Structure 1
Amino acid sequence: MSNVCIYSAVCGIVITVFIVFILVYDVKSFSKFSLEDGWVEYLSALLSFLSSVILLFTFFKIKKIDNSRVKWSIFLMSVILFILAMEEISWFQRILEFNLPELMNGNSQNEMNLHNFGTNYMENAYYFGVYFLIVLVPFLNQNKPEWFTCLFIDFLIPTRGMMLIGCVVAGYNYDMWNVFFMQFIFYTSILILTVIFIQSKFRTERILILLTLGVIFFSQFLFLKKGEFFTRTWDVTEYRELLLPVGLLFYSLLLYGRSRNIEKHKGLKLKTVLWKPLK
C-alpha cells in the first residue's frame, strides 16, 4: 500500500473513533457540532474546497499529456468539488447575511443552494457517486470476471487501499438505516473488506482491514443505539458528509502524486486501457 492509502485508512479510522467518543461522552455535543454553521459543516466545506484546488493544480500539471479525457475529467471533478464546498455553506448566504433570491423560493430550507430542491435525490447521488469511485471501481478493477471488459482511464482509478476509508463511511447510519440503498452500501462494504482481507498478502493491509471492519460494526451499533437521543434524526449524516470529503481529499492527493510521476518521466504516454491501474 502507498503512504497516501495508509494515511487515508488510518485517518478514516481515527476520525470515526473520535466521533464515536463524542457520541458516547455527550450526545448533546454530538448533535450540536453537526448543526448548521457548526465546525462539522465548515470543515466539510473546507476539505471539499482543498480537494478542488489540488485537482486544479493536477489539471495544470498534466495539461501536456496525450489523453484529453484524463485532463478534462480532473477539471470536471475539480469543478464538482468546488460546487459541493459552496453548497455545504449555502454559497456564504448565512455568513454574508444576504437575502434569498426569488429564484430560490422553492428551497425546502430557504437557503441559497441547489441540493435542498431535491435533498434525498441529491444526497443519494452524492453518497453513491463517492462510494462508486473510491470503493467499487478499485474493487472491480482487481476482481473483474474474465468475460467482463470495460474501458477505463487508468490514471483515475484509486488504489485498493483507498477502499478502506470509503467503507468506513458505510457505518454512518441512523435515519436512513432502513433505506435499501444504504443497507446495500453497508453489507457490500463488509463483503468487499472480507474479500480483500482474504486476498491480501501484506500484514499492514490485513491489520487495517480488520480495524476498519471493527470500526464499521462498532460505530453502526452505537449510532443505531444512540440515535433516538439526537437533536435531529439526521445528525449522523452530517458526520458522514465530513468523512466523505476526507476520502476525496486523499484521492485528490493520490492523483496529484501520479501527475508528479508523469512530470518526472517526460515523454510517458498515458493511455486508456482495460482496467489496468497506474501503480
Structure 2
Amino acid sequence: MSINKTEKLGYAFLAVVFIFSLYLGFTNVDYFNNVFTAEDKTVETGTAIMLLCVSLLCFYRLFSISKGKSTTWKIGVLLFAILFFFGAGEEISWGQRIFGIESGEYFLQNNAQKETNLHNLVVGGKKVNKIIFSQLLMVAMVIYLIALPIMYRKMEWVKNLADNFAVPVVKWHQTIAFIISTILVAIIPADRKWEVYELAFGIIFFLIFLYPLNGYLFNKK
C-alpha cells in the first residue's frame, strides 16, 4: 500500500487538524464551538477551500486532458466539478456573510439558520440537512468508500462503469483515513465536532481525486 509524498503531506495536515481539534474539544469547548468551528471561521473556511480545490481539479482535467476522452468521461468529470463547487458554495452560504448579503424572504421563512443555502432548509418540519446531507450521504459514503473498491476489483462491469464515467476509486489507505477520522471526531465532546468531520471529508476527498486507484483515467492520451 504505497503512499506518495503528496499524500503523506495531506495526511500530515489532517493529523494537525485533529491534534488541534482534540486539544480544543477537550480543553476549551467554548472556544471550539464559538471560534474554531463557528460559521465562516477556521474549520468551515478550510472545508470550503478543500471542496473548491476538488472542483477546480475536475475543471482543470476537463479543460486540459479531455481531448480524446469519451463523452461519458467528460460528463462524469463535469458532474463532479459541479457537485463539489456546489458543496463549497453551500458550506459558506454562497458568501452571504462574507459579502453582507441579506437572505431573501423564502430563506428567512424556511431556512433553519435564516441563510441562503439549501442544506439548512426545513421542509415539512424536517431539515434537509438531516435527511439528505446526513442520512443519505452516510449511506453513499459507505457504498463509495467500502463497497465500490471491492466491487471495482472483483466485477468487470463495475470497473467499466466507474472508468467510463471517470469515477475516482478509493485506495484502501484513503478508506482507513476516513474510518480513523470518524472515530476521532466521535470522541470529541464539543457540540460542533461534525464541522471537523466535514473538513476531514474535504481533505481526504481531495487526496482521492488527486490520486485515485484508477489514476490512469486522468492521464493525457
TM over 0.5: yes
Q: 1:30 aligns with which of 32, 36, 39?
A: 32
Cα 1:70/1:149, change in 2 over 3 Å? closer
In the other structure, the counterpart of 1:141 is 152
1:107 CA drift (Å): 1.2
Secondary structure of residue in 2 paired with 1:46: helix
Kept in 2, the 8 Å contact 1:139–1:160? The answer is: no
In the other structure, the counterpart of 2:140 is 129
In the other structure, the counterpart of 2:125 is none
Q: Distance in 1 between matches of 2:198 and 2:91?
A: 9
Cα 1:45/1:91, change in 2 over 3 Å? same
Q: Letter of the 2:206 partner, please give it.
A: L
In the other structure, the counterpart of 1:243 is 200
In the other structure, the counterpart of 1:119 is 129
Task: Specify every segment of 5 or more residues in structure 1 that has no aligned partner in the other structure, as ranges.
Answer: 172-215, 267-279
1:51 CA drift (Å): 1.3
Deviations 1:63-107 (A, max 9, x none): 123432222111111111111111111111112222211232311
1:149 CA drift (Å): 5.6
Identical-pair percentage: 21
Cα 1:160/1:6, change in 2 over 3 Å? farther
Cα 1:76/1:239, change in 2 over 3 Å? same
Cα 1:163/1:11, change in 2 over 3 Å? farther
Q: Distance in 1 between matches of 2:73 and 2:217?
A: 15
In the other structure, the counterpart of 1:15 is 17
1:10 CA drift (Å): 4.3
In the other structure, the counterpart of 2:114 is 110
Cα 1:134/1:67, change in 2 over 3 Å? farther
Q: Letter of the 1:132 partner, please give it.
A: I
Deviations 1:104-135 (A, max 9, x none): 23112110001112120132233443453344
Kept in 2, the 8 Å contact 1:47–1:245? The answer is: yes
Q: Distance in 1 between matches of 2:89 and 2:64?
A: 25
Q: Distance in 1 between matches of 2:39 and 2:203?
A: 19
Cα 1:70/1:22, change in 2 over 3 Å? same
Deviations 1:42-75 (A, max 9, x none): 1111111111111110122331234322221111
Cα 1:18/1:140, change in 2 over 3 Å? farther
In the other structure, the counterpart of 1:153 is 162
How many residues of Structure 1 are paired with residues of Structure 2 in the alignment?
A: 205
Secondary structure of residue in 2 paired with 1:110: coil
Q: Distance in 1 between matches of 2:200 and 2:152?
A: 24
In the other structure, the counterpart of 1:51 is 54
Task: Specify every segment of 5 or more residues in structure 2 that has no aligned partner in the other structure, as ranges.
Answer: 122-127
Match status 1:84 vs 2:87: yes
Q: Which is greater in Rg?
A: 1
Secondary structure of residue in 2 paired with 1:153: helix
Kept in 1, the 8 Å contact 2:55–2:80? The answer is: yes
Kept in 1, the 8 Å contact 2:149–2:169? The answer is: yes
In the other structure, the counterpart of 2:75 is 72
1:246 CA drift (Å): 0.7
CA RMSD of superposed structures (Å):
2.7
Kept in 2, the 8 Å contact 1:12–1:168? The answer is: no
Q: Letter of the 2:51 partner, please give it.
A: S
Deviations 1:182-224 (A, max 9, x none): xxxxxxxxxxxxxxxxxxxxxxxxxxxxxxxxxx4xx54x32x
Q: Distance in 1 between matches of 2:157 and 2:75?
A: 23
Q: Distance in 1 between matches of 2:68 and 2:203?
A: 28
In the other structure, the counterpart of 1:175 is none
Kept in 2, the 8 Å contact 1:37–1:89? The answer is: yes
- TM norm structure 2: 0.79
Q: Letter of the 2:196 partner, please give it.
A: Y
Q: Distance in 2 between matches of 1:127 and 1:61?
A: 33
Cα 1:74/1:130, change in 2 over 3 Å? farther
1:34 CA drift (Å): 1.2
Q: Distance in 1 between matches of 2:45 and 2:78?
A: 24
Q: Distance in 2 between matches of 1:102 and 1:261?
A: 44
Secondary structure of residue in 1 paired with 2:211: helix
